[in-house]
Chains A and B, each alone.
Chain A
Amino acid sequence: MGLGFRMKRILITDCGSTTTKAILIVSDDDGGRLQARGEAPTTVEAPHEDVTRGVLGAIADLESIVGWTLVEDGRIVTPRRGDVGVDLFLSTSSAGGGLQMVVAGVVQTMTAESAERAALGAGAIVMDALALNDGRSVHERIGRLRDLRPDMILLSGGIDGGTVAHVVELAETLAAADPQERLGQSTRLPLIYAGNRDARDLVRERLGGRTRFSTVANIRPTMEEENLGPAREAIQSLFEEHVMAHAPGYPTLVEWAGAPVMPTPAAVGSLMRTLAEVTRSNIVGVDIGGATTDVFSVVDGVYNRTVSANLGMSYSMANVMATVGAGNIRRWLSIEMEEGRMRDGIRNKMIRPTTIPQTLEDLRLEQAVAREALSGALGEHVRLASGLKGARLERTISDVFEQRASGEGLLDMASVDLIMGSGGVLSHAPRRSQAAAMMIDALQPKGITELAVDSVFMMPHLGILAELEPEIALDVFRRDCMVLLGACVAPVGKGRFGRTCLRVSLDGLARVEVNFGDMAVLPLGPGETCRMMVEPASGFDVGAGAGRAMTLEVRGGRVGIIIDARGRPLDLPDDPEMRRSAQRCWEESLDLFPQRQDHRAGMQEHDG
């Protein structure tokens, strides 16, 4: 096959904890399209201990699909020679557990929280956030630091010209703990100092000889200002220069790549930011994995990312149960399930993380856990995606009436235009309506919000591409990655069950009146758009004010327009039987599960 002058082949890999995923994008005058996707096990551990073997394995899988040669003599061919090779190769990585950091600041809700935001925004997992007021004694902090083996430490503390002694006290704690680096005993642990500039020399004196010490501008130069950029950039650059350089095979991967290798979550964040900027919308992204759940938000141009390191759907499934309690999982089940059976089921998934639900009962249980994991992760995100605590606000009269305070949460679900879900339990749910239901129940969108899922998990790939070729990345995102499920209409307010909550009509054709406590779906398929009129009852608000109607253009999707008239916040009946009955009604309205069992109870067990 001959390639045109403007045609480009772009190969991107994401080296995950367990699987390396490769995608091949071809772009021409009509924009970019996903050509094929391949995968292979990640190979950072014995017996292979070379990440490039997994990368080449994933590319070989891809080559077998497209029939093109991309690799010769164990190397990716770039620049492309006619039909052989690719024009650009990029990679992201979270192999070996991703980037793991410890952060420290003087005050928990101020500099330590700013440091946490900087680390999370750079794509790290924060193993611990130390602060002088974190409730632990000094020797407990030292003990904790000795136990942890982070990839790097971010130390902050004090505004410029502020406290010196407290910052030095933190530095002395770190020095006493003498924390060791995760990947090698022979190298010194990278430490970035991003605190009070007046304490810089004293901190260097205490830590310079023990760590690979570097400094950047203060992340909190004043009480009213947060400056995360320099610390984020320093983290990402150290990630490639130091952390990845010591991981098996990474120097070769870095040499092959046409741009710095990014931590996977940082790449997803990059895509979210690009998308929000181009579409001028507010976006929330959730990525629910086996071990962790990431939440990204871009609201009014402000980007935040959090990772809930122990909320996930396989390795961490039992941790969801331990965190929220079995009762909170069971409240999402429409069927009766004995607690011991439920607990054992969750533990079995924990110890055999690659197995999949085979029965509807098992599927329901996993999706119930997913709701709690997503909800917990969003709660954590809201806590951290907040305004600066301790800052003096210039208040207006209306702020006083609304009781706005410093540290107020920045994420109001009513302002979110799109929720994008990713991760196996959402992307591979047997019915798309199940993915929509999980996101609605867990994240509780307010007003009118579009819902979408990632088709085959390529957001990291497109995120790193967005740094270089944003137009191609967005083309592929819209055409091959994002599966639009439809829109959710969720009035805010409370009413009486059985009383009208709202009326919705689509182009005057489909029309539905939904009572408080009910759910409904209006069909509007992928690629279809129409004018939607929403008339909430008195006391309910869909975005135009209580009881005020609104008309807007909406896009359809694989599910349609979902009307959620259960009110916000969503309260489930306390009585177990009433709750199960309500869940069954909502399942039926959204057509979540097969009504009639075509497979005999148990499984497809058949006679000999």
Chain B
Amino acid sequence: MAETYTQGLTVAEGVRLRRQRRLPVKGTVLVRKNQSVERDTVLARAELPGVARVVNVAALLGIAPEAIERALLKREGDAVTGGEILGRSSGFWGLFRSKCTSPVSGHVESISTVTGQVVIRGVPIQVEVAAYLDGEIVDVFPGEGAEIEARATLVQGIFGVGGEVWGNLAIVGPGPDERLDPGRLDESHRGQVIVAGRGLMPGCIERAAYLGVRGLVVGSITDSDLRDLLGYDLGSAITGGEAVTTTLVVTEGFGDVPMAERTFRLLESKNGCRASLNGKTQIRAGVIRPEVVISSERPGEGGESVRAMGISLKIGTRVRGARVPFLGRVGTVTALPRSPVQIETEARVRVVELTFDDGSRALVPRSNIESG
């Protein structure tokens, strides 16, 4: 039997999920191996060097660069506070004296008699890494962070916006083919992760943000929805750092595509459970897809580890279309022709024959399907 391999997104229950959580710079790890943690447990903490501000003392005091050391009241390494006088000029016979102040609190990092500049390093910025998942520490990286294992339900999306959030899952709407009406969102949804079906009706994003909804999981959005959410035209699919109130995870793509039945039903079965959500998406080398993780299932025996996405493609495999005209349509592989076939564009490509649930059949390029 002909067999090949296709990419796909993971939609699975009871998987063993591991996540490495690391600080951006060396710091202190606050947990130990085998310790149980919750998603908001701080695992590690570090201090980033403060932002450097350059003060052109020579220009501000109207003196030559080589003369600034005489005018400065501070030396390298001295602490300064915002607004504190850094130096002053003596002026002519005591007249026309001028002064310059530090724009930030911190310490004097360097003094240059070539350029007349003083670098003030701001106070260190504290960074923390939270667990993100409910689980158990399985490895500790001294000074860097830890690895967590959780037994979880994982739904990977195709595209997302916004960073890590968590809240209880709330299924709003009757099914995967329904668009979410903003009128269905109310105060009870504050702090929750809302699962909509097919898409969002106008006003949903604003309403969700107003109510303090932490996350939205939806089958598809339009380019117009995305511009409304971000306020600009997104260029590259590298997201996760946007300053949005509500993190968004899209499971199918852009346009008007229903959420896959299997995805919706799995999320529906977890209604009310604690969910972690991350909209971070990166579609260049080192692909990162957004995700919904329900990790309230305690770690234990069993569960398959998730490493590589994708499935082995053979007769009978369930797949879904990844591009128009079959985007989001789910079907079963009924033939895997060996030789390339000419498609409508006149390109000759390798295809699969799919039989859709309504009984219709179509030839679809293999690069345009993914695991269903």
Interface residues of A in 333-358 (CB under 8 A from B): 340-341, 343-348, 350-358
Known A139-B53, A350-B237: A604·B346 in contact at CB below 8 Å: no
Q: Residue A277 at the B interface, CB < 8 A?
A: no
Q: Residue A509 at the B interface, CB < 8 A?
A: no
Contacts of A430 in B (CB 8 A): 345-347
- CB-nearest residue of chain A relative to B362? A605
CA distance A316 to B223 in the complex (A): 15
* Segment touching B, from A172-180, A372-380, A467-475: A172-180
Contacts of A343 in B (CB 8 A): 222-224, 254
Q: Residue A402 at the B interface, CB < 8 A?
A: no
Known A172-B119, A594-B346: A355·B65 in contact at CB below 8 Å: no
Q: Residue B114 at the A interface, CB < 8 A?
A: yes
> Is there contact, CB below 8 Å, between B324 and A139?
no
Q: Residue B357 at the A interface, CB < 8 A?
A: no
> Which listed residue (A176, A315, A319, A346) contacts B109, Cβ 8 A?
A176
CA distance A95 to B286 in the complex (A): 11
> Is there contact, CB below 8 Å, between B326 and A177?
no
Chain B proximity of A196: nearest CB distance (Å): 13
Interface of B: prevailing SS: loop
Q: Residue B201 at the A interface, CB < 8 A?
A: no
Total A-B Cβ pairs within 8 A: 186
Q: Residue B4 at the A interface, CB < 8 A?
A: no
> Is there contact, CB below 8 Å, between B322 and A355?
yes
> Is there contact, CB below 8 Å, between A352 and B284?
no
> Is there contact, CB below 8 Å, between A351 and B52?
no
Chain A proximity of B141: nearest CB distance (Å): 13
> Is there contact, CB below 8 Å, between A45 and B286?
yes
Contacts of B359 in A (CB 8 A): 608
> Is there contact, CB below 8 Å, between B368 and A18?
no
> Is there contact, CB below 8 Å, between B367 and A355?
yes
CA distance A315 to B234 in the complex (A): 12
- A82-100: CB near B (< 8 Å → 1, else 0) gives 0000000000000111000
Contacts of B309 in A (CB 8 A): none
Contacts of A202 in B (CB 8 A): 114
Number of interface residues of B (CB under 8 A): 60
Chain A proximity of B109: nearest CB distance (Å): 7
> Is there contact, CB below 8 Å, between A362 and B324?
yes
> Which listed residue (A18, A168, A173) contacts B114, Cβ 8 A?
A168
Known A17-B285, A352-B253, A604-B362: A165·B324 in contact at CB below 8 Å: no
Chain B proximity of A541: nearest CB distance (Å): 37
Q: Residue B63 at the A interface, CB < 8 A?
A: no
> Is there contact, CB below 8 Å, between A17 and B362?
no
Known A164-B114, A348-B324: A356·B349 in contact at CB below 8 Å: yes
Q: Residue B29 at the A interface, CB < 8 A?
A: no
> Which listed residue (B52, B344, B368) contacts A604, Cβ 8 A?
B344
Q: Residue B32 at the A interface, CB < 8 A?
A: no
> Is there contact, CB below 8 Å, between B223 and A356?
no
Chain A proximity of B139: nearest CB distance (Å): 15
> Which listed residue (B283, B326, B367) contacts A356, Cβ 8 A?
B367
Q: Residue B343 at the A interface, CB < 8 A?
A: yes
Q: Residue A406 at the B interface, CB < 8 A?
A: no
> Is there contact, CB below 8 Å, between A177 and B222?
no
CA distance A44 to B286 in the complex (A): 9
Q: 9 A–B contact pairs at CB < 8 A? A: A315-B283, A315-B284, A318-B234, A354-B7, A356-B365, A358-B324, A358-B364, A359-B345, A606-B360
